[in-house]
Structure 1
Amino acid sequence: MIIKTLTENTSLSENFGSEHGLSLYIETVSFKILFDVGASELFLENAKKLNVDISDVDFLIISHGHYDHGGSVKAFLRENSKAKVFLHQLAFEKYYALRPNNVLKYIGLDEGVKQNGRIVLTSDRFFINKGIQMFSNIIQRESISRSNSGLLMVNNGQMMQDTFAHEQNLIVEENEKMLLVTGCARNGIVNILEHFRDLKGCMPDYVIGGFHLSSRSGGNESAEVINNIGKYLMDTKAKYYTCHCTGIEPYKRLKAVMGDTIDYLSAGCEIRIPPVEAIKDCQ
Structure 2
Amino acid sequence: MKLKVVVDNNTYIDQYYYGEPAVCYYIEDDDAKILLDVGYSDLFIKNSVAFGIDLSRVNIIAISHGHNDHTGGLAYYFSNKIKKDVTVIAHPNAFDEKSLGEMKISSPIGKDSLAQNCNLKLSAKPVRISKNITFLGQIPQLNDFENRSPIGTTSLNSKTYDDYVMDDSALVYQGKDGLHIITGCSHSGICNIIEYAKQVCNDDKVISIIGGFHLFQQSERLDETIAYLKKNRIKELYPCHCTSFSVRAEIHKFIPIKEVGVGLELHW
Asked whether the two chains share a fold, i.e. TM above 0.5, the reply is yes
Tell me what 2:262 maps to. Answer: 267
Alpha-carbon distance in 2 for matches of 1:83, 1:158: 32
Displacement of 1:135 in angstroms is 1.4
Tell me what 1:80 maps to. Answer: 83
Q: What SS class does the counterpart of residue 245 from structure 1 fall into?
A: coil
Q: What SS class does the counterpart of residue 264 from structure 1 fall into?
A: coil
Tell whether the 8 Å contact from 1:8 to 1:22 is kept in structure 2 after alignment: yes
Displacement of 1:155 in angstroms is 4.5
State which of 221, 228, 233 in structure 2 corresponds to 1:225: 221
Alpha-carbon distance in 2 for matches of 1:120, 1:136: 11
Alpha-carbon distance in 1 for matches of 2:226, 2:192: 14
Alpha-carbon distance in 2 for matches of 1:76, 1:145: 34
CA deviations on 1:150-203 (whole Å, 9 max, x unpaired) are: 432224544332122212211223445432111111011111112222223314
Q: Which amino acid aligns with 1:66?
A: H
Instruction: Calculate the aligned-residue CA RMSD, in Å.
Output: 2.2
Tell whether the 8 Å contact from 1:145 to 1:221 is kept in structure 2 after alignment: no
- Shift of the 52–136 alpha-carbon distance from structure 1 to 2, 3 Å rule, reads same
Aligned: 1:252 with 2:255: no
- Shift of the 84–150 alpha-carbon distance from structure 1 to 2, 3 Å rule, reads closer
Alpha-carbon distance in 2 for matches of 1:137, 1:32: 23
Q: Which amino acid aligns with 2:116?
A: Q
Tell whether the 8 Å contact from 1:133 to 1:172 is kept in structure 2 after alignment: yes
Q: TM-score, normalised by structure 2?
A: 0.87
- Shift of the 123–227 alpha-carbon distance from structure 1 to 2, 3 Å rule, reads closer
Displacement of 1:222 in angstroms is 2.5
CA deviations on 1:229-255 (whole Å, 9 max, x unpaired) are: 122112212222121111222112211
Displacement of 1:114 in angstroms is 4.1
Tell me what 1:210 maps to. Answer: 212
- Shift of the 79–94 alpha-carbon distance from structure 1 to 2, 3 Å rule, reads same
Q: TM-score, normalised by structure 1?
A: 0.83
Matched ranges for 1:109-128 at <5 A: 109=107, 110-111=109-110, 112-128=113-129
Name structure 1 gaps, 5 residues minimum.
Answer: 99-103, 214-219, 274-283
Alpha-carbon distance in 2 for matches of 1:134, 1:33: 11
Name structure 2 gaps, 5 residues minimum.
Answer: none
The sequence identity of aligned pairs, in percent, is 27
Q: Which amino acid aligns with 1:12?
A: Y
Alpha-carbon distance in 2 for matches of 1:115, 1:80: 12
Range with greater deviation from structure 2 (41-50 or 159-168): 159-168
